[in-house]
Amino acid sequence: MTAELRFIDAIHAGLQASLAADDAVVVIGEDVTYGGPFGATKGLADEFGRHRVRDTPISEATVMGMVTGAALTGLRPVVEVMFVDFITLAMDQLVNHAAKLHFMSGGQLRVPLTVRVQGGVRGRFGAHHSQSLESWFTHTPGLKVVAPAFPGDAKPLLAAAIANDNPVVYLEHRGLYWDKGPLHDDPVDGAVVRRPGTDVTVVSYSKMVHSALAAADRLADSGVEAEVIDLRWLAPLDTATVLESVAKTGRAVVAHEAVARGGLGAELAATIQREVFTELVAPVERVGAAFAPVAAAAALEDAFLPGVDEIERAAGSLMAFGPPPP
């Protein structure tokens, strides 16, 4: 029987394996020698030495500039930004330098940099520690973005990010950290169908995949078979898997925890309606958070956060449009 690990332990295992496999891999960030805020790097400094697992001052801009330079000189830095909200302080180095140097050098420079960022809504952390900012990164040419939903994917996706010669933003939802699942080392290219279905396609990523699967269970009770797609990679985006599914079902719901306005769901909805318009029997539905800061108050955080109910309603509403054309 395959052993199960928590999501956070799968990340630790991915870091450990990459450090052991390649001396060029270094782990850098605030308090990483002690494990960081959630324990992902705990023990790595003792195992690999503090020359490869390094603490930094509390200056995200400085740290991002340092790891960009380190990547340019042949290292493969993995930098931890404690909360994705704090990456605002490092966006100049990440977006204007790390993401563009390969292009601006005519392909002469490589920036094999992995940026681990933790985000999402969990635990009443409030507006400064609960955002989902993936659309910022997917809007930036030169950045790759990955968002695992299960412990089994967390390790190989992290290994793939570290081995990549481009800057990769690796998104971790803290609401997944204590979820358990079996690990594997299988390739994790593109999207994956988590649940097959024939009536409606639900596309999601990160923690919202779990809500999509729960919604699909409810829909099945009423005779609606939802196909659930876990994107995994947000940039590059595997639109082929999404479009193949939507062409089959004729209906699509795109769901994410980020605010709906300007989110990745809007890009997917536009792509679906452009590429498989003639196969659609209903408009593409989007499920996302309210356009507001995340409140710390329990009732307000719950009201802000979309989930199973919203996905079920969105998918159910599409069934009123009738069957797909023959």
Is 312 an annotated catalytic residue? no
- pLDDT tens digit sequence for 184-195: 877 788 999 999
pLDDT at 122: 83
Average pLDDT over residues 245-263: 96
The total number of residues shown for the chain amounts to 326
Does one domain contain both 83 and 129? yes
Range of the domain at 245: 192-320
- pLDDT tens digit sequence for 302-325: 898 999 999 999 999 999 987 655
Does one domain contain both 159 and 208? no
Contacts 24+ apart (CB under 8 A), 48-56: 48/19, 48/20, 52/19, 52/23, 52/25, 52/26, 52/27, 53/19, 53/26, 53/27, 53/28, 54/26, 54/27, 54/28, 55/29, 55/30, 55/31, 56/28, 56/29, 56/30
**Residue 59's beta-bridge partner residues?**
none
Catalytic residue among 129, 173, 210, 256: 129
Catalytic residue among 30, 60, 134, 172: 60
Question: CATH no. for residue 49?
Answer: 3.40.50.970
Is 60 an annotated catalytic residue? yes
How many domains are there within the chain? 2
Does one domain contain both 228 and 162? no
Predicted confidence (pLDDT) at residue 277 exceeds the cutoff of 60: yes
Which of the pair, 247 or 82, is modelled with greater confidence? 247
| Residue 309: inside a domain | yes
Predicted confidence (pLDDT) at residue 6 exceeds the cutoff of 50: yes
pLDDT band at 129 (very low <50, low <70, confident <90, very high): confident
Q: Are 145 and 138 in contact (CB under 8 A)?
A: yes
pLDDT band at 1 (very low <50, low <70, confident <90, very high): very low
- pLDDT tens digit sequence for 202-236: 999 999 999 999 999 999 999 999 999 999 999 99
Does one domain contain both 243 and 162? no
Average pLDDT over residues 70-88: 94
Query: pTM to 2 decimals?
Result: 0.94
| Residue 326: inside a domain | no
